[in-house]
Structure 1
Amino acid sequence: MTTLRHYPLGTPYPNSPHAVASSLPTLRDVCGYEEKEPRVLDAMTSGYPRFVQNALVTRLIEFLLDRESLSGRASVLIPGKRAALELLRCVGPGPVLHEVEPGLVLLHYDPLDQALGARLRKYLQHIGCGISSREAEAWLLRFGLIDSAHREDRIPGNGRQAVEQAIADLSTVPVEDVLVCASGMNAFYAGFRAVQEVQAMRGRRRWLQLGWLYLDSGCILEEFLRDGEILEHHYDLTDTDALVRAIRAAGTELAAVVVECPSNPLVRVCDLRRVAEVVREEGGVMLVDPTIASIYNLDVMPYADLVVTSLTKYAAHQGDVMSGAVVLNRESVFYGDLVLRVSAYHAPAYDGDLRRLAFEMQSAPDVVRRMNANAARLCRYLKSHPAVRHIFCAGCSDHIEIVSRSEDPVGAVISMELHGSMRKFYDAVSVMKGPSFGTQFTILSPFMYLAHYDLVTKPEGVDFLASAGIDPDLIRISVGAEDYDEIEAVFDKALNLSLG
């Protein structure tokens, strides 16, 4: 069956218990998800793992609570005591730590304490250290609660070594400088914490965010700064002179510059070479996240002290693995200090996930090339369509030549603003719709509705987005590797309907 079709509410894709994408087919469903309507939440039995608890994880938690005579308690499940202690430190008093098996920890609490539960889930989402569905499946099998695991291809042997070697080869660094994490968000958190410790020792307290960051990355910068630390936002990546002035103004207080390259969701590339030169002159750290176009398409290592990236996208192109990585630059003056600290905060990925990821990475270069080619053609088509007001893509961005691994337009992600009705387009387009990208199947999202619903539903929030150059009705498209003519036909039909 073609992947270019309508998916009913809550349908996972691929057809796997480990799928990270789950369908939100209409804008009404998106709003219902954000407003926690039972109609929508009941249908979402799977989804992006940091936001939707997988059914295998739920079943394991229920079993363990019952086995440990904790029925009636609410809980999250963490694979590793160190990660559980870090989460507990962030959340504060309230949850009770209970190690139910070696390396398997319940943090349980009174379900009537809704504020505590919300805080615990929030920090679990930010830190990205929850148990994966495959590890939950392995425990369920061990406890005799299921007869067999989902059948899928994985490499034999050590998954971590295979993935780290593949990333090292892509990044042209020694394999010792790659650390694979349980999620891209955990990679960001581990990198942030390491930089924070290094620069705090030097009395540096000013952090600069360049461009719009993904929600949880921004939340980490907002919420995990220590007393006396300051965060500045500079949203316009096109004004390099202004960025340079801001970096110079921080002077000897500059701790770090954090930038996505390209940015999410506007898919813009700053002049990374010039920015990095100035940051290094001022003694700051460059933390760069290339996830939107991926390390397959971009080489940002020469301009970064450390790179953090999600491997859930592009590398895990089948859409069924969550993972991330931190890559350290051995040429950085901060290398020695950072390498000692990053591992203290990372949550290791489960080896079953990594063996599946390593299998998918074998075909990733070819799949990514097809996605890139389709995205370049779709970009040209969208620019000519009367329903489309504006297009954002990495290949259309200034400064892309600084980081691109080839002369071709890079990455699968395109964002667009419409003249017509976003709701009509979104409801009509026959593709998977949900919060992910970088998959071999086309997937799109009304990005600001899913990431910043509080902003798009309030006049002051809409005004704030406008000041940052973001249309609240922006659509983010991740172009898949399907037949291009079929992709264009699906978009053409929906765009024409949006004008009606």
Structure 2
Amino acid sequence: MNTTLGSSIPPDTPHAISVSLPTWRDNVGYEEGDKRVVDRMVTGYPRFFIHLSIKKLSTICEQKYAVNNEQCMLFSTKKVAEECRSFIQRRSAILGHPAKARLVDLLICPEDDSDSAVPAPTANGALNGKPKPCPGSIGSTCAELHIVLFPGDAFPVAKEFWQHSGLGISSRFAEKCLSLLPDEVGARAARAAAAAAGERPVTPINQRNGVKFAGRRYNKHYAAVKGRSGGGTRPSSPPLSGSPCSPTFSGFSAALGDADEDLDKDHSVYLEERYGRNLPLSAAAFAKRALKRRVAGVLLCDVPDCQDTAGQEGLTVGPSTRGVQDASEDDVVLYPTGMTAIWNAHQLAMQVLGQEKSVCFGFPYTDTLKILQKWGPGCHFLGHGLDSDIDELEKILEKESAEKPGRRSIVGLFTEFPSNPLLRSANLPRLRQLADKYDFLIIIDETIGNLVNVKVIQYADIVVSSLTKIFSGASNVMGGSLMFNPKGRHYATLKQQLANSFEDLYFEEDAIYMERNSRDFRKRIHAIDKNAEAVCDLLQSRSQAGGYPNAAIKEVFYPKYVTAEHYEHCRVKSSASEDGRAGGYGGLFSLTFTSLAASSGFFDALPCHKGPSLGTNFTLACPFTILAHFTELDWAAEYGVEEGLVRISVGLEDTENLLRAFHTALKAAELKVSSGTS
């Protein structure tokens, strides 16, 4: 188990989703910008920490196109870049520091037949259609890159767009672009970035551990779309088989798949490949089709013996197991992140039902609320997510209807089932009744409950999920999904609006990793449910809420104990599940403590990985409120999200080993209590 500050989680994984912040002090230092912490970070959660490959590509673009002190952000389509430019200009004006942004459209192709690969620009410089395939490049296409340039002091505003929307390019997409550039361009950018940061140069992307990828020439041309573009490519590593996890585990490190590794560990790219590139990159369409079928719950055959057929075009599929049998793969849309799915759901709601406020029901993951506040006319925030909040919602709806006769009161209600981090489940039948009465959409984020454990689509118009989490499990790729309820009142209008505006933003290589990772997700979920319930039963018995004397733990937030009647109403029953097993309570829970010292003592002593994210195949803990609400601790506390809250995502380790690990942390926390440390 690698707990080195700033290292990737999983270790030695180039596109890792999490980063090691092993102590309470480290997490506070990260939020405060402490150089001791920040300078050691080689990665981070992708919407918060811009991956080093993306930074390197940004440096190249800034060297070529920036003027004065401009910085840039990178996107895969012109439409998204325009959204970013619009947000920067609108948001900076609201904040009292107006900033202008401009766009550059860039196409990077391999040297082979580059003239035929570059589409003709339109009068305004936009690409006229998609680029033709270029032989030999990654994924058999050129890289279309859209650069948003803005004054350097507007970077925090641009970062808001990157973080909240999740629409930025992925690290794998950045590596594709870098691999198409000549060696000297990347090396020059690396030296410039290192010099600006006062650091050592970053190893060129086409060079690992001093060994260059051989056998290809790198061309020396790349340019904005208004000119001719070119680049080079590096051969990808050979496909490797293997599962990111196995049915049983003997300890924490085994869950990471680093036992019995027969590959050269010096080659991090091989470890990355080990997580499952079983498909050629040309099969991205196959992978995306399989993913949509898994999310829709229509696969009749999704077990090891026939998982390779899941994306075949002519494969026979069955009625959906999601709760609405008419749902199909055509009702599922894939996005590069879960937050992108939420952002698009909000956009759809406003486009179809009008420019009215939304409702955020329950205390959500931070960016959901920020999306509803920063795009459109704003939202009503009912942050406790309890039945008393539904009473308040009814009053709001009645008041809005009386004041605006003939107009819709709200366009949509967004809620998580259950919520993150308090694991509260909303009364969905009652919310559905209000939605039908007042004609607004219900958008449910099922990431925490997940489709194996709960059925919620029958109460929703749209269900969204972060596939980055337990659906993938391997913590090495991002993804999100949006699913329409075919029985919803606005189903046809929503789908038509999406058809008119949809762009496929999910990078093909990311889709292939996600497809491979998700093949055994049902099996993993059942194992994680079992582990989490065992751990939570232990912690509940040693909590103040459970009647334990001189307890260090105040309360265990877990669907089995919190708003249990609402969760049980939607929990999958064994007779209705695909494999005959009842749904569990998920792998996520949170703890509050009787003192901040007990919180930090428990966290520091817990022998597992510590970092952002959840839903990993290995146990992962973080001081959630410190990371998500460091600048608004008092506000979060008003809703029960205390400063000392610790959130834990349980993994696939051996159950007894997990229990021993939590016993160790409990002892450390209880020692703080007995010693009177505050």
TM-score (norm 2): 0.68
Say which of 505, 508, 513 aligns to 1:356: 513
In the alignment, what sits opposite 2:569?
402
Percent of residue pairs bearing the same amino acid type: 27
Given residue 638 of structure 2, which amino acid in structure 1 is its aligned partner? S
Compare 318-327 and 398-407 and name the one that shifted more: 398-407
User: Which digits, 9 at most, give the CA deviation of each residue in 1:257-315, with x for residues without a partner?
Assistant: 11111011100111112211221122111111111222232221100001111110111
1:417 has 2:592 as partner: yes
1:130 partnered with 2:281: no
What does residue 242 of structure 1 align with? 391
Residues 71 and 60 (structure 1 numbering): CA distance in 2 closer, same or farther, change over 3 Å?
farther
Would you say 1:208 and 2:359 are equivalent positions? yes
Instruction: State the AA in 2 paired with 1:13.
Output: I
Contact 1:6–1:430 under 8 Å retained in 2: no
Match of 2:101 in 1: 95
- Deviating 4+ runs (over 6 angstroms): 69-72
AA partner of residue 208 (structure 1): V
The 3-state SS of whatever aligns with 1:162 is helix
Shift in Å, 1:409 = 3.1
Provide the residue aligned with 2:369 in structure 1: 218
Question: Which residue of 1 is the match for residue 541 of structure 2?
Answer: 384
Distance 1:478 1:316 in 2: 14
Map of 1:268 onto structure 2: 424
Tell me the CA shift for residue 443 of structure 1. Answer: 0.5
Q: In the TM superposition, what are the counterparts of 1:194-343 in structure 2 within 5 Å? A: 194-200=348-354, 205-226=356-377, 230-239=379-388, 242=391, 245-246=394-395, 248-249=397-398, 250-251=400-401, 252-342=408-498
Mapped to 1, the partners of 2:49 and 2:502 lie a distance apart of 23
C-alpha distance in structure 2 between counterparts of 1:124 and 1:6, whole Å: 29
Q: Following TM superposition, by how much is the alpha carbon of 1:489 offset from its aligned partner in structure 2, in angstroms?
A: 1.3
Unaligned runs of 5+ in 2: 90-98, 108-142, 184-205, 207-212, 214-234, 237-268, 298-320, 402-407, 543-550, 574-581, 672-678
Q: Which amino acid aligns with 1:122?
A: E
> Which residue pairs with 1:483 in the alignment?
654
Residue 398 of structure 1 deviates from its aligned partner by 2.5
Distance 1:467 1:371 in 2: 31
Assess if the C-alpha contact under 8 Å between 2:360 and 2:379 holds in 1.
Answer: no
Match of 2:422, SS state, is coil
Mean Cα deviation higher: 436-445 or 250-259: 250-259
Indicate if the aligned counterparts of 1:83 and 1:347 stay in contact, CA closer than 8 A: no
Q: Is the 8 A contact 1:22 1:46 kept in 2?
A: yes
Residue 437 of structure 1 corresponds to 614
Q: Is residue 2:657 matched to residue 1:465? A: no
1:236–1:328 CA distance, 2 compared to 1 (3 A): closer
1:262 is paired with a residue of what secondary structure?
Answer: coil
Q: Find the counterpart in structure 2 of residue 181 from structure 1.
A: 335
Secondary structure at 2:74 match in 1: strand
Q: Aligned residue for 1:7?
A: 3
Letter in 1 for 2:30: Y
Residues 422/59 of structure 1: CA separation in 2 closer, same or farther (3 Å cut): same
2:181 to 143, 147, 156: 143
C-alpha distance in structure 2 between counterparts of 1:296 and 1:59, whole Å: 40
Give the whole-Å Cα distance in 2 for the aligned partners of 1:84 and 1:347. Answer: 14
Cα shift at 1:375: 0.4
Structure 1 gaps of 5+ residues are: none
- 3-state DSSP of counterpart to 2:475: coil
Higher RCO structure, 1 or 2 (CA under 8 Å, sep 6+): 1
Comparing 483-492 with 96-105, which one deviates more in the overlay?
96-105
Cα distance in 2 for residues equivalent to 1:84 and 1:33:
29
Residue 166 of structure 1, aligned match among 271, 282, 294: 294
The amino acid of 2:277's aligned partner reads R
Structure 1 pair 83–354 and aligned structure 2 pair: CA distance change class (3 A): same
Contact 1:34 1:453 in 2 (8 A): yes
Q: Find the aligned partners of 2:390 and 2:443 in 1 and give their Cα distance.
A: 20
CA gap 1:371/1:243 in 2 versus in 1, 3 angstroms: farther
Contact 1:190 1:342 in 2 (8 A): no
Q: Is the 8 A contact 1:237 1:243 kept in 2?
A: no
CA distance in structure 1 between the partners assigned to 2:659 and 2:68 by the alignment: 52
Shift of 1:447: 0.9
Provide the secondary structure at the position in 2 that maps to 1:454: helix
- TM-superposed CA distance for 1:232, in Å, is 4.0
Q: Does structure 1 retain, via aligned residues, the 8 Å contact 2:390–2:431?
A: no
Paired amino acid for 1:106: I
CA separation of 1:65 and 1:455: change in aligned 2, threshold 3 A: closer
Structure 2 contact 397–409 (Cα < 8 Å) conserved: no
Cα displacement (A) at 1:59? 2.0
Amino acid at match of 1:219: K
**CA distance, structure 2, for counterparts of residue 34 and residue 347 of structure 1:** 34
What secondary structure does 1:82 align onto? helix
* CA root-mean-square deviation: 2.2
Counterparts in 2 of 1:211 and 1:230: CA distance versus 1, 3 Å: closer
8 Å contact kept, 1:258–1:286: yes
Q: Does 1:393 pair with 2:434?
A: no
Aligned to 1:86: 83
Alpha-carbon distance in structure 2 between the residues aligned to 1:258 and 1:243: 15
1:221-275 deviation line (CA, Å, top 9, x unaligned): 111123xx65242524243762563465244413221111101110011111221
Distance across 1 between alignment mates of 2:66 and 2:163: 27
Q: Distance in 1 between matches of 2:586 and 2:514?
A: 19
In the alignment, the residues of structure 2 paired with residue 56 and residue 236 of structure 1 have an alpha-carbon distance, to the nearest angstrom, of: 40
The verdict on how the C-alpha distance between 1:123 and 1:477 changes in structure 2, with shifts beyond 3 A counting, is same
1:317 to partner: Cα distance: 0.3
Q: 2:411 is paired with a residue of what secondary structure?
A: strand
Shift of 1:439: 0.6
